[in-house]
Amino acid sequence: MCAYGTHTLTPSRPTAASVRLPLYLRGRERTAVDAEGPALTVRRTGRAIARYPIARLARIIAGPNVHWTGRALRLCMEYEIPIVLMDAEDSPIGYIQPALVHRSGMDGLLRQWVDRPEWPEQMKNWMRAQRMSILKNWRAAQAQAGKPVPDDDFEELARRHVQRAEMEQYLQVPKTYRAALAAFAGQKLQEAGICARYWGHGGDVLDLRAALLELLELALSLEFSGLGHASQVDEAARLRILHVFSQSLTQTVYHILGSLHQHVRGLLEEWR
């Protein structure tokens, strides 16, 4: 199953050069991925060969029954296409991330920041503030859409979600979405010229991909809150739902990374 498989686009159909879509390879049957020129070829048992131009792919989510050739992996890395590997339960278990070739100014700031012993606690505080910011932005959007959230309900949401220890049990994001969001987070970090992980003072690890994934799961869970059981439908419908919210999630990523940039820069300026 892939973004093409949801009928938003079919293999090799002409489209605008700027359109790049995720590729979902569930691997329910034996699936082999190879490279032929500037495209990936996908062979599934009992099905015709599918060809996906690499320049039209944004990220790839692959199940446990997908077999890769070295040249297919190399082509993905050359075009900076992140890959998320799923287990049999549709949960992400690993990542193949391109080497970061074009580092941004934020990358340098983050490297300085994680050399400071205070950064883990500062990161926790920033994450708490980001969860509250996501809640407030969602509430404002609901009010603008004519669906105001009562104060009592909002306070309960804040109690559940801002306190990290209690948050996971309330999220409504299915595992399939988690893998898709993990790939989305990896792609956005790559585009921003930021590493997925930074090793800092005392060996502590700043896992930006995990932090971004956590915040995106919260944002998507809030979006699902008005859909009832719509988030539990079949896989193709899930992908269509995710596609509907993709623009909103992109804006959320821009806001999160911009906020982190300002936060880290401000802290470094205080120390100088």
Q: For position 16, what pLDDT does the model report?
A: 41
SS3 state of residue 96 = strand
The number of folded domains in the chain is 2
Question: Cβ neighbours of residue 101 under 8 Å, at least 6 residues apart?
Answer: 80
Same domain, residue pair 40 and 151: no
Same domain, residue pair 69 and 130: no
Report the 3 state secondary structure along 192-206. CCCCCEEECHHHCEE
Instruction: Give the count of beta carbons closer than 10 Å to the beta carbon of residue 126.
Output: 18
Q: The domain containing residue 52 runs over which residues?
A: 4-96
Same domain, residue pair 117 and 232: yes
Same domain, residue pair 71 and 201: no
Same domain, residue pair 194 and 77: no
Q: For position 181, what pLDDT does the model report?
A: 87
Same domain, residue pair 120 and 66: no
Same domain, residue pair 187 and 230: yes
Same domain, residue pair 187 and 60: no
pLDDT along the chain (272 residues), means of 10: 33 48 86 95 91 94 94 94 89 85 88 94 94 92 91 88 58 70 89 90 88 90 60 57 73 92 93 66
112-116, long-range: CB < 8 A, 24+ apart: 112/268, 113/200, 113/264, 113/267, 113/268, 114/198, 114/199, 114/200, 114/201, 114/204, 114/206, 115/200, 115/201, 116/200, 116/201, 116/267, 116/271
